[in-house]
Each structure stands twice: as structure tokens, then as C-alpha cells.
Amino acid sequence: MKKGSKIIRGFTLIELLVVIAIIAILIGLLLPAVQKVREAAARATCSNNIKQWSLAIHNYHSTYGSFMPASYANPNRIAWPIFLWPYVEMENAAKKYDFNAGFWQPNNIIPNTHNGICSTTSKVYFCGSNRQDAKWQGDGYWRARGSYVLNWGPVRMPVLGALPAANAPWGYADGVSWNKPRISKLERIADGTSNTLAFSEILMHDNDAAADFRGDMINDDNQCGRFMTIDTPNSGIDEMTGWCVNDAVNKLPCINSGNGKIAARSKHTGGVNASFCDGSIRFVSNSIPLVTWQALSTMNGSEVFDSNY
């Protein structure tokens, strides 16, 4: 060896494995933080979308003097998002929609294609925690799905027995008839707009072809585009009149029932985003007492409950 030369020593195998192990540990520590940031962003996006729908119902009220119906079947079946399109930056879709035809008829829907107006989607349709641009292909009348649903109150659809005296801002006047939508006005919300639910979230299947009503908000059929407060958020087993694909693993349990119910559900940790009839947004915990959740869903029940829910 020449005088002054240096010996260049490489990593040993053990040293290399130690470095790799340290990097793996750091990545393992970092991933939960990244996921937490992503979920926070998704939850914020979801909250903002519900805010947009909530502002839309107030703009509709300013124009027509009342809230829109949840669905309207006299004579044509129209679901609530269509009434609100002009107020959520979907004016072009609203202009093209044929209000003299049913939502399933051309050119509102063009069978077995997504070329109809009802397949139009917007970022305001989808919670950031759910897949984007979800569609319905559960039958031949293809259309958009969405993450948001209207408050139907603590009743089934169709209602079982007599209609309760206290009711939600949306529903059917007799609890049964599609052609008798409840049309509510702000001044009729006796419990206060800040104490009356408007919107919450719903989960939907990952498969567009799943013939499951959850997320099918363009449809005015039973259990579509609405949630009931019979169960607290993310709890219970949903019941649907024939259009049910059970998936308990992904928090979508259901059974078939002639008098259905749908719970508010989300992929957020611990609860759901919900809006109120004053336009405010709140994250509601899964652990909210059922009596409080149901009191918040009625507009004229005069219930007394702990506001620290």
C-alpha cells in the first residue's frame, strides 16, 4: 500500500439492515400522521359540501317561500337534488332537465348510459372520505349517486301506524303518499332552526352495479336520498324495500323490509357531519343519546335535551 493512501470501508450487512429497520420504523410512525391529516382534510371537504347544500335550501326558500320537497310525485317523480341544482353551481343541468318527465325518462336518463342529465355529477355530491363520481347502475336507469341525505325524522318509510305529531321538515304529509310531500317553511320550525337537522351523510357501495338504495339520491323511491333517526349515527341495521345489498364488513349492514329505515353513516372516525336548518354544521358523535338525536330531527316536538351532545 502506498504511503498516504486511505482505506475506503463500506457498510457491513448488519449496518445496512439497521439503517433499513430505522427507516421502516420512521415510515411506520409517519403513516398514521399522514392518514390523520388526509382524514381531517376529507372531513373538512365533507363539511363544506354539506354547508353548500344547506345554503342552497335557504336560497331556494328565499326564491319560493318554502323549502323544496324531499321528493315530488305529482305528476312526475322529482328528488330534492334536482330542485337545488341552480343553487350549487349546477345551473346547466337544471336548464336541461325536463320537469315534464320522470327522472328515469329521456333525456333526464338515457337507459344503460351515463349520457342523461341525471348522471351529471359535481364535487358537492361526494364526501372526501368516499369514492368520487360514484354512479348507480343497479338497473337500466343509470344515474349519479351522492354522499348526502335529508332528515326524514324518527319514522319509517312508509310510516308504521299513526304519523307522530312531531315531524321532520321533510317527509310525506301522511307518512305514506308520494304525491303528498311535506312542504316546510322556516317560520314553522317551532323548535328553532339551530335545533333542527337538515342534512347528514350516507355511505354507499363501492360497486356501481350494486342495487342498493343508499346514495341513490336522484331517485325519489323509498329510503333514497334521506336518513332516519330511528338509529344513532353509524349504528343499527338499515332496512330497505327490496333494494338492499348487505355489506356489514364495510359498515353497510341491511335487510329487506316493507317499512324501511336508513341511518346516517360515514367513514369518519367517531361520527358524522350534519347540518341544521340555520345553515350551521356540526360533527355529531356516534355516542349521541338516541333521545337527543331524535329530538334534533323534529321541528315541532318541543323536546328538552342536553345541548352538550
What pLDDT score was predicted for residue 15? 67
Average pLDDT rounded to a whole number, residues 160-171: 94
* Domain containing residue 221: 14-297
Any domain includes 6: no
Give the number of residues written for the chain. 309
Any domain includes 92: yes
Asked if the model's pLDDT at residue 299 lies above 60, the reply is yes
Q: Over the range 137-161, which residues count as b (16 or more CB within 10 Å of their CB) and which as e?
A: bbeebbbbbbbbbbbbbbbbbbbee
Any domain includes 36: yes
Task: Cell 358524522: give the residue.
Answer: 272
Number of structural domains in the chain: 1
In tens, the pLDDT along 35-93 reads 566 767 788 899 999 999 999 999 999 999 999 999 988 889 999 999 999 999 999 99
Any domain includes 4: no
Any domain includes 9: no
DSSP 297: H
Any domain includes 3: no
DSSP H or E run through 150: strand 148-151
Any domain includes 219: yes
In tens, the pLDDT along 95-119 reads 999 999 999 999 999 999 999 999 9
Q: How confident is the model at residue 166 (pLDDT cuts 50, 70, 90)?
A: very high
In tens, the pLDDT along 225-278 reads 999 999 999 999 999 988 999 998 889 999 999 999 999 999 999 999 999 999
| Distance of alpha carbon 227 from alpha carbon 284, whole angstroms | 14
Any domain includes 283: yes
Average pLDDT rounded to a whole number, residues 208-224: 95
